Amino acid sequence: MAILKLKAPTKDYLWGGNRLVNEYGKESAGAVTAESWELSCFPGSESVIESGEFAGKTLTQYIEENGKEVLGTNCEKFEDFPILIKLIDAKKDLSLQVHPSDEYARVHENQYGKTEMWYILDAEEDAFLYYGFNREVSKEEFARRIENETLTEVLNPVYVKKGDVVFIESGTLHAIGAGILLAEIQQNSNVTYRVYDYGRRDKDGNLRELHVEKALDVTDTNPAPKIPRPEPHIGQCKYFTVDKVALSGSLTDTLSGEVTTDSFLHILVLEGEGVITNGDDKVNYKKGDSLLLPAGSGRYEIKGQLEAVMTYE
């Protein structure tokens, strides 16, 4: 089995900045680069294998040619590839939005719903995000506040710093605030119901579409629960498990593990550089790299300086 180094498609959404290009080496999608999709089989936005036997193929093509066995037995319960991983640079506030459950999204969008988690990579002083409501509101009040643009008065602001983790269940109203850089691990879905966007216009001068009726259907209007702190993982649900790992770069400092037939392993390199070995395959890594070890790859060893999030099913 080969270590697959992936190239991420990027998105030039109007709220993005330039840190993904300047600090993580991503190719620009335009004047700004809001997102890079580091592990993606989403149609039209798929990761591409950069080198080796499968160079130039999309991740979707690789799976089709090698069989779903490369994903592992834990993924057999999913019809499609279950996970989407992104880097997100929010230079400006993102819209207030909510994601539906699987059940609702399958009926209305023919996609999965979206549960997601954020690992905060950096945050400006006093940067915050919105996470649910600060008190219970009725559906009627929710609709009224969307209409009169006072929704933020009843939302729950969460001030964040590097290393914080926020888990967003489907149905939770939320928004990433300006000055936050993060890694997002989510279900493989692009269903977002936008309810407020600060009156901004897109590059063609049009107001961005809102999805108020669907948002009213799916939003949990109870007070926001306390953000969970899962241990020993930084994130875990039925769709993914996420671990944070680090190496100091010492000559004797190594990280090793085994990729069984249960699941693939994805490594998103947040800091550092070094080498990862898996059998006869040896790949150098650096900050911003996205690496996939297919299920059944066996033992691997990482040497060098490293801060990374590892995701598996």
Q: Residue 162 belongs to a domain with what CATH number? A: 2.60.120.10
Q: Which of 228, 260, 283 is the last residue of a domain?
A: 228
> What is the pLDDT confidence band of residue 165, given thresholds at 50, 70 and 90?
very high
Task: For residues 49 and 150, state if they share a domain.
Answer: yes
Task: For residues 45 and 175, state if they share a domain.
Answer: yes
Distance CA(191)–CA(177), nearest Å, equals 20
CB 175 within 8 A of CB 93: yes
Distance CA(240)–CA(246), nearest Å, equals 20
CA distances from 152 to 45, 81, 185 (A): 32, 35, 25
User: Any idea what DSSP says for residue 130?
Assistant: E
Does residue 74 sit within a domain? Answer: no
User: Any idea what DSSP says for residue 207?
Assistant: B
Does residue 19 sit within a domain? Answer: yes
**How much is the pTM?**
0.96
User: Any idea what DSSP says for residue 302?
Assistant: E
**Structural domain containing residue 119:** 4-66+82-228
pLDDT at 231: 75
Does residue 77 sit within a domain? Answer: no
**C-alpha of 151 from chain center:** 25
Task: For residues 191 and 54, state if they share a domain.
Answer: yes
Token pair belonging to 264: 């693939």
Can 194 be counted among the known catalytic residues? Answer: yes
Task: For residues 120 and 262, state if they share a domain.
Answer: no
Q: How many CB atoms lie within 10 A of CB 150?
A: 12
Does residue 72 sit within a domain? Answer: no
Closest CA to 152 of 95, 82, 81: 95
pLDDT at 205: 84
Task: Indicate whether 240 pLDDT > 70.
Answer: yes
Task: For residues 103 and 207, state if they share a domain.
Answer: yes
Q: Which of 192, 207, 228 is the last residue of a domain?
A: 228
Task: For residues 298 and 194, state if they share a domain.
Answer: no
Task: For residues 265 and 217, state if they share a domain.
Answer: no
Average pLDDT value for residue range 49-76 = 95
Task: For residues 196 and 127, state if they share a domain.
Answer: yes
Distance CA(74)–CA(84), nearest Å, equals 16
Task: Indicate whether 251 pLDDT > 90.
Answer: no
Comparing 221 with 79, which gets the higher pLDDT?
A: 221
* Percent residues over pLDDT 90 in the chain: 88
pLDDT at 51: 84
pLDDT one-digit tens code per residue, 111-153: 999 999 999 999 999 999 999 999 999 999 999 999 999 999 9
Task: For residues 257 and 215, state if they share a domain.
Answer: no
Strands 83-90 and 180-187: antiparallel
Task: For residues 275 and 135, state if they share a domain.
Answer: no
The average confidence (pLDDT) of the chain is: 95
Does residue 235 sit within a domain? Answer: no
pLDDT at 1: 59
Average pLDDT value for residue range 246-250 = 88
Does residue 282 sit within a domain? Answer: yes
Nearest-5° Cα angle at 79, 73 to 84: 85
Task: For residues 123 and 20, state if they share a domain.
Answer: yes
Q: Which of 228, 263, 278 is the last residue of a domain?
A: 228
Residue with tokens 């799976």: 63
**C-alpha of 75 from chain center:** 18
Distance CA(264)–CA(134), nearest Å, equals 39
Does residue 73 sit within a domain? Answer: no
pLDDT one-digit tens code per residue, 24-55: 999 987 899 999 999 999 999 999 999 889 99
Closest CA to 72 of 235, 255, 301, 240: 240
CA distances from 204 to 90, 110, 187, 207 (A): 21, 28, 30, 9
Q: What total of structural domains would you count in the chain?
A: 2
CA dihedral 146, 119, 92, 159 (to 10 degrees): 70
Q: How many CB atoms lie within 10 A of CB 209?
A: 9
CB 307 within 8 A of CB 66: no
Strands 265-278 and 298-312: antiparallel
Token pair belonging to 228: 């969970």
Task: For residues 268 and 208, state if they share a domain.
Answer: no
DSSP element (H, E) containing 236: strand 235-236
pLDDT one-digit tens code per residue, 106-115: 999 999 999 9
Does residue 175 sit within a domain? Answer: yes
CB 173 within 8 A of CB 135: no
Q: Spot the catalytic one: 135, 144, 145, 194.
A: 194
Residue with tokens 């600090």: 23
